[in-house]
Amino acid sequence: MGQHYDAIVIGGGHNGLTNAAYLAKAGKKVCVLERRHVLGGAAVTEEIIPGFLFSECSYVVSLLRPEIIRELDLPRHGLEILPLDGTFTPMPSGDYLWRMNDHGRTVREIRRHSRIDAEAYEEFSKMMTPMCRFVKPILSMIPPDPTTLKPKDLKQLHFLLQRFRDLSSDERYTLVQLMTMSAADFLDQWFETDVLKATMSASGIIGTFLGIRSPGTAYVLLHHYMGEIDGAFRSWGFSRGGTGAISNAIAAAAREAGVEIRTKAGVAKILVKNGRVRGVALTSGEELTANVVSSSVDPHLTFEKFLEPNELPGEFLQDVKRYKFRGSSGKVNLALDGLPELKCMPGEGPHLRGAISISPGVEYMERGYDDAKYGHYSRRPYVDMVIPSLTDPSVAPPGKHVMSCFVQYAPYKLAEGSWDEQREAFGDNVIDTLSEYMPNLKKIIVGRQVLTPLDLEREFGLTQGNIFQGELSLEQLFFLRPVPGWAYYKTPVANLYMCGSATHPGGGIMAAPGRIASQVILKNWKRAN
């Protein structure tokens, strides 16, 4: 019989590490178990091509909660966020749309395309601020149970209702729309410029298997908008050394608090005895015991792989099976020995330091979705690109660069063939798409890594390749995430908890689930032990 811990955390991703750090800070003896040889899960940096450090999966810091940065003192542990300025959208016409952090310049740029939109953009930004303010506290709250009449839950529900009623009529109108509409329909009300609507709506589909015309995507748009609203570029940026550096900073904070972190320690089973968690068995056969097990991996792995069906209520298991992953995106990471030349704005410049978005039009985006609906990757995909080496030279050899390309759509289930057969064709298709805007791209590529949804599943443990551990669709949010009745980080197995992106408030490098889960675990500690 192996070692005993107060708490074992399954998965060394940013949420697992955050969860462990908070538990240890509360004086618990904690062990984090990571299957891979590196920490970070999907927030990881690896040297895939010698000399080139890829942020393999997630590539920008969006919504990392300020309170976590503060409470874990992450800057002291090496976290350094570098600015990511703006989004540059090249257009086939040779024109472009360039939105920058500088609001004034963005408005002037939009005026080039449409005076009306420039004015609307001012209005729009003004309106989004109270929207984000409304949602923010929700990101740090334990979802209430809408089906009970328990005072605690009623209080929270009333709190939400009251906040809604405190909004002005126009704010309510917009909020309701954001919660229910499609990103495209929502933006149609504000803007007329096609490329502007396409680029803005793009953030509404990331990580979902929805099109920009599908209701519910307006919410995801808000979900991603919040980073920008935070103002200080602390929220939208690169982390020096790649996104892995974020995980490493959290890991350092955790270690300092006394957490034991083990890599190459894949979990095979969660051990349960009379409905109570006992510990875990590793793939190596080693067994570790603990009073509490907190799983940061997704519900499919936690409940269908690590547990036996007879250890869970049938109805719960059915809901877990029903939970939608539906990975819809892939990643192409490129090692370059020069900089890409944009047709519409040749030469080096600040436009290369921000995100470059291939989202030339609303119909382009929607057709990309149609391909995916019928089991084919988008023939002309939406691509979100960054060149972190321009801002953080440490990730590439001198004079050379890395380019990270997030690609949607890439459906996990293909109508024909397997992803192993399609991988290179998929990669080529992305390069061809980009080459239409960056003619010199093919010449400067010295190495590439193509990650399909299947790779995300096999290598990073993201079931069906969903980067958020489950779709961010309305029926899987808040008190429905991951499954109805179990959106409170607890599980039907006593002392087994969830702390990953599959729990409220969901994906992105937010670390909020890990933090909220730790609060729940600690609150229940006495009762449980």
Partner 1 sequence: MPLGQKVIVVGGGHNGLIAAFYLAKGGFKPLVLERRGMVGGGAVTEEFHPGFRVSSLAHTLGPLREDIAADLQVEKFDCEILRPDPRMFAPTADGRAILFYDDVHKTAGGIARISAKDGEQYPKFAKALEEVAGVFAQLSLITPPAIDKPTPEDLWNLLKTGRGVRKLGKKRIFDLLRWGPMAAADFAAEFFETELIRAVIAARGIFGTALGPWSAGSTAVLLMRAAADANPVGSAAFVRGGLGKFTNALAEAARAAGAEIRTNAEVAQIRMKDGAVTGVVLADGDEIAAEAVVSGADPKRTFFNLVDATQLDPRFAMRIKNFRMNGTVAKVNLALGDLPAFPALAGTVGPDGFRSALSGRIHIGPEIDYLEKAFDASKYGGYAASPYLEMTIPTILDPALAPEGKHVASVYVQFAPYKLKNGNWETQRKELGQTVMKTLAQYAPNLPSLVEGMQVITPKDLETEYGFTGGHIFHGELALDQIFTMRPVLDWARYKTPIRGLFLCGNGTHPGNGLTGASGANAAKEIIHELR
Both tokens of 462, joined, read 């993201």
Indicate the residue among 167 and 528 with the shorter CB distance to partner 1: 167
Indicate the residue among 108 and 373 with the shorter CB distance to partner 1: 373
Residue 424 corresponds to which amino acid? E
CB of 146 to partner 1, least distance (A): 7
Indicate the residue among 329 and 476 with the shorter CB distance to partner 1: 476
Window contacting partner 1 (CB under 8 A); options: 88-96, 336-344, 436-444, 477-485: 477-485
Give phi and psi for 480, each to the nearest 5.
Answer: -110, 0
What distance in Å separates the CA atoms of residue 498 and residue 11, rounded to the nearest whole number? 11
**Which residue do the tokens 């040889």 mark?**
37
Residue 413 corresponds to which amino acid? K
Indicate the residue among 214 and 235 with the shorter CB distance to partner 1: 214
Helix ranges restricted to H, 398-528: 419-435, 441-444, 453-460, 512-528
Find the binding residues for partner 1 in span 153-182 (CB under 8 A): 164-165, 169-170, 172-173, 176-177, 180-181
**Which residue do the tokens 């503060």 mark?**
70
CB of 142 to partner 1, least distance (A): 17
Residue 485 lies near partner 1 (rule: CB under 8 A): yes
Both tokens of 455, joined, read 């790779």
Q: What angle do CA 512, 504, 494 make, to 5 degrees?
A: 100
Residue 146 lies near partner 1 (rule: CB under 8 A): yes
Residue 185 lies near partner 1 (rule: CB under 8 A): yes
What distance in Å separates the CA atoms of residue 463 and residue 11, rounded to the nearest whole number? 14
Q: Is the backbone peptide bond immediately before 505 cis, with ω within 30 degrees of 0?
A: yes
- The binding track of 303-342 with respect to partner 1, each residue x by CB under 8 A or -, is ------------x------x-x------------------
Map residue 462 onto helix, strand or coil.
coil
Find the binding residues for partner 1 in span 194-223 (CB under 8 A): 210, 213-216
The answer for residues whose C-beta is within 8 angstroms of residue 23's C-beta and 6 or more apart is: 6, 7, 9, 30, 259, 294, 518, 521, 522
Residue 473 lies near partner 1 (rule: CB under 8 A): yes
497 class by beta-carbon count within 10 Å (0-12 exposed, 13-18 middle, 19+ buried):
buried
Map residue 303 onto helix, strand or coil.
helix
Indicate the residue among 133 and 324 with the shorter CB distance to partner 1: 324
Size of the residue set binding partner 1 (CB under 8 A):
34
Residue 484 lies near partner 1 (rule: CB under 8 A): yes
Find the binding residues for partner 1 in span 345-374 (CB under 8 A): 363, 366, 370, 373-374
Residue 380 lies near partner 1 (rule: CB under 8 A): no
Residues that bind partner 1 (CB under 8 A): 146-147, 164-165, 169-170, 172-173, 176-177, 180-181, 185, 189, 210, 213-216, 315, 322, 324, 363, 366, 370, 373-374, 473-475, 479-480, 484-485
